[in-house]
Amino acid sequence: MNAHERDHFHKRWTLNTLIQGAASHIHVTAPHMVRESLDALIPGLTRQYIQFVLMGQLNYVCGDLMLMQGRPNHWFGFSSKPQKVIADHPVFAQHGNRLARAEAKTLRSKARAHRVRMIPMITPMFMMRKINRLTETEAPFREPLQKLAIQIATEIYDIAPDQLDATLTKEVAFGNIAPADNFITEVIGQSVIGYGGVNRDQEGKWKVVARAWIFPLLVHELIEGITELICMHGMSDWDEATYRNVTTAADRLDHETMCIQVGPELWRRLLGVVPRRVPLAKVVMQIAKLPPDPLHELINQVIADPELARVRLVELTR
């Protein structure tokens, strides 16, 4: 990978972290947003969803996925050296550990409030039993739950519902999925219970597609797909070779763990400096369109100097 591609690899990693951060943040908050509608369908459903999504997110920061892949600073925070893939990243080599620790603290606080615990090797097995029960519970209500997921997505991003294709199903794969090329990607690939992304429809128009076993994951995949669609504006001027080489290197299942460990905290900090009355989609698009160096300068400001980031975003979105 040459220097030009390396810069764009770092940019793509940053965008992927924002994409996963947006999806993971709404993954946790969505059941609260539509509590009355969910409990009107099935009493107590909101509580079941909240417990499940907290277990899922905890798996990334202190569960089996963390045990397999570590954190941005290697195993259990004992090393301050960033993992190789982000060792020279302009943002995450410096701030990845800080963001991951903040996200872990936030999740543990929420988990205590909802009586959720993460015990590696044990909780993930309990999660699979829980998701199978939730799948059965949801079965008679798939249609209204799919509509509710689209409603949440359109409220957040003000996107037309006809651009969204959301389906509750166990057949989640679609599009061109890269084959597993190591043990970790094979293990993760076999356990995937949701996919979200962008596909062209029969008329050649881009459409966000989400497939997931249960409702909270469907919302997650919708937000992931919409944010990906917006971020594509930041890659539209890449030449074919750069796009192919960068996305092949960056868009890997075994990279998602670190993006999800870091992304939600970064996303919350970004939301804290987004200009008022500016559509969120416009903010994300303008960020994505920045060249690598200005992009990373802005993201560093979001983390270390939010007031300066706020001013910069006002200028960027005029």
Query: Is the separation of the CB atoms in 156 and 280 below 8 Å?
Result: yes
- The total number of residues shown for the chain amounts to 318
Q: Give me the pLDDT at residue 65, please.
A: 73
Position 78 pLDDT exceeds 60: no
Angle between helix 280-288 and 3-33 (nearest 10): 170
> Rounded to two decimals, what is the model's pTM?
0.91
Q: How confident is the model at residue 192 (pLDDT cuts 50, 70, 90)?
A: confident
Q: Give me the pLDDT at residue 80, please.
A: 67
Q: Give me the pLDDT at residue 183, please.
A: 60
Of 83 and 176, more confident: 83
Average pLDDT over residues 180-189: 64
CA distance 234 to 12: 9
Average pLDDT over residues 243-254: 90
Q: Give me the pLDDT at residue 284, please.
A: 98
Q: Give me the pLDDT at residue 217, please.
A: 95
Position 76 pLDDT exceeds 60: no
Angle between helix 253-271 and 92-113 (nearest 10): 80
Q: Give me the pLDDT at residue 79, please.
A: 61
pLDDT tens digits for range 256-272: 888 999 999 999 999 99
> DSSP strand E in 41-189: where?
164-168
Q: How confident is the model at residue 175 (pLDDT cuts 50, 70, 90)?
A: low
pLDDT tens digits for range 97-123: 889 889 999 999 999 999 998 887 788
pLDDT tens digits for range 17-63: 999 999 999 989 999 999 999 999 999 999 999 999 999 999 888 77
Q: Which residues neighbour 47 within 8 Å (Cβ) at sequence distance 6 or greater?
A: 114
Position 152 pLDDT exceeds 50: yes
Helices (H), 170-305: 183-190, 215-231, 240-250, 253-271, 280-288, 292-304
Q: Give me the pLDDT at residue 62, please.
A: 79
Position 3 pLDDT exceeds 80: yes
